[in-house]
Amino acid sequence: MAAFAPSASTSSWTPSSWRTRPVAQDVAYPDAAALEAVTQRLAVLPGLVTPNEVDRLRKQLADVAQGKAFLLQSGDCAELFSDCEPRKIDAKLKLSLLMSLVLIWGARLPVVRVGRIAGQYAKPRSKATEMVKTAEGEQEVLTFRGDNVNAFAADPAARQPDPQRLLLAYFHSSTTLNHIRGALGSGIADLHAPHSWSLAHVRSPALQREFSSVVDSLGDALHFMKVVGADRADGVRGSLESVDYFTSHEGLMLEYEEALTRRAAGVPGASYQTSESPSSSEGASSGAHYTLSAHTIWLGDRTRQLDGAHVEYFRGLANPIGIKVGPSMKPAELVELLALLDPKAEVGRCTLICRFGAGKAPSLLPPLIRAVRASAHADSVIWCCDPMHGNTRTSPLDASIKTRAFGDIVTEVVESLAVHAQEGSRLGGVHLELTGEVDARGESVTECVGGSMELSAEDLSRRYMTHCDPRLNYEQSLDIAFLLSHSLRA
Ligand code: PEP
Ligand code: MN
């Protein structure tokens, strides 16, 4: 490892300058030449998204930072290549659209939809190895690091990192995104029949009444808009039939991100430069570097070291970025991190995705809000709540099953809303792990306990389908949307 540059903010940035810094959660590839061949291939393939689309998200996130829109970032903890099926992608897309409708109704604000999708493969892990049962008995194997690194199957050979998986990740992301673009272009967003949403799972009569009244009002409002033609008032995009949907993933695999980094060309007819293009200084974002692996990527709580490789890579990107903020983040550290990642304090560039755990926001969040308010970033950041990652528990019935209690998730969201209100700040969005996927009989997954279906620990074994963290199911996700919608309106 080369020596550190004295200060990241003053040293020059290149898409590969992260290589001079320590890489947390590094993957040790046994064959460096094979990795190099893969990254060379990725470097000449088309970007998965375009700088123009990324700029559109930047503008929408600037609205979120200014309180003019609300951010809904949601999807799987870890996608698998086998998730790249139309039925599964549609289920995720539809759930995000339904939730955003409920939120728009409640918050009376546009919702910026960002999926953890089309590239959310890599996972940080707390342990490098684990013990598994194999035909030869109990064996120590490398942990599963995501489908773009190794295979889930619990055998030593399958768990070896294979760089070809990065290429497979690119092609699965591309196919997923192609399906999303096609579905949105063919009217999947025209879901405006709230009366057909089943609330049969809601056990409590009081909650049933409350949710039905939201659905009734939403249905009436949409019907009225259709009658007066207001749903088409602003032309093609942004109308109720067609919506923007952006992609995101954790920016963990820096070799992959570097290989998909492109310089915006700012010349007509070419949205970015390949290594053969002449350089140009024309255009709004020309010269800026974008990762074209997704519209936005986030920095994980385990890879946000100030002098680390991930911070170095992220600071040079023109993409808007997320920063996970866990309980160990100190106020001064957050201010320093923002200064490194966003020296110009661009409005909406950084989304602070706070994930403390139920009961912790009242003590941990106020000092962070105050420190940011006293910094150059007072008006530029988005405060977002991830009520999932601080609330992972093991099932009381089986210590090998991870779960989350719906009550803890709601508590963290409610606490976060209350703290922002108290501090004169604003919660700009939520970051959720969820899935609209159902099994062959049309039944939702059972990974988190509670919610209006009142799932118990006994229910978890019925349809536990995640390969990583437990996700809210279809009904629990709508429960959250209704609850948020209610709170944001209050
Ligand atoms: C995640 O979002 O899946 C994740 C691993 O989060 P964190 O970095 O906050 O632990
Ligand atoms: Mn997760």
Interval 420-464: pLDDT, tens:
999 999 999 999 999 988 888 888 999 999 998 889 999 998 999
Ligand-binding annotation for 469, yes or no, is yes
Residue with tokens 């993933």: 249
DSSP labels for 227-288? Answer: HHTGGGTT-STTSTTS---EEEEE---HHHHHHTEEEEEEETTEEE--TTSPP---STTTT-
Q: Does residue 145 carry a pLDDT above 80?
A: yes
Tell how far CA 326 is from the center of its chain.
Answer: 16
Ligand-binding annotation for 330, yes or no, is no
Q: Which long-range CB contacts under 8 A does 201-206 form with residues at least 24 apart?
A: 201/452, 201/453, 201/475, 202/452, 202/453, 202/475, 202/479, 203/452, 203/453, 203/454, 204/452
Q: Is the CB of 145 under 6 A from ligand 1?
A: no
Residue 231 to residue 45: CA distance in whole angstroms: 38
Q: Nearest residue CA, atom 3 of ligand 1?
A: 77
Q: Is 288 in contact with 342 (CB distance < 8 Å)? A: no
Q: Nearest bound ligand to CA 116?
A: 1
Q: Is the CB of 301 under 6 A from ligand 1?
A: yes
* Torsional class of 442: left (φ above 0), alpha (ψ -120 to 50), beta (otherwise): left
Question: In 117-231, at which residue ranges do the beta strands (DSSP E only) sit?
Answer: 129-134, 137-142
Average pLDDT of span 314-327: 98
Ligand-binding annotation for 77, yes or no, is yes
Q: What is the amino acid identity at position 384? A: C
Instruction: Using the mean position of ligand 1's atoms as its centre, give its distance from the Cα of residue 300 in Å.
Output: 6
Tokens of residue 251, six digits = 């920016």
Look over the chain and give the mean of its residue pLDDT values, rounded to a whole number: 89
Q: What is the amino acid identity at position 228? A: V
189-240 residue pLDDT tens: 666 566 667 777 887 888 888 888 888 888 887 777 777 666 654 443 344 5
Instruction: Using the mean position of ligand 2's atoms as its centre, give its distance from the Cα of residue 388 in Å.
Output: 7
Instruction: Using the mean position of ligand 2's atoms as its centre, give its distance from the Cα of residue 432 in Å.
Output: 9
Percent of the chain with pLDDT over 90: 70
DSSP labels for 80-93? Answer: -GGG-SHHHHHHHH
Count helices and strands (H / E) in the chain: 11, 15
Instruction: Using the mean position of ligand 2's atoms as its centre, give its distance from the Cα of residue 355 in Å.
Output: 11
> Which one is predicted more confidently, 283 or 19?
19
pLDDT of residue 5: 39
Residue 215 to residue 268: CA distance in whole angstroms: 46
Q: How many CB atoms lie within 10 A of CB 239?
A: 15
Ligand 2 is an ion; its neighbours by CB within 5 Å are 77, 469
Ligand-binding annotation for 355, yes or no, is yes
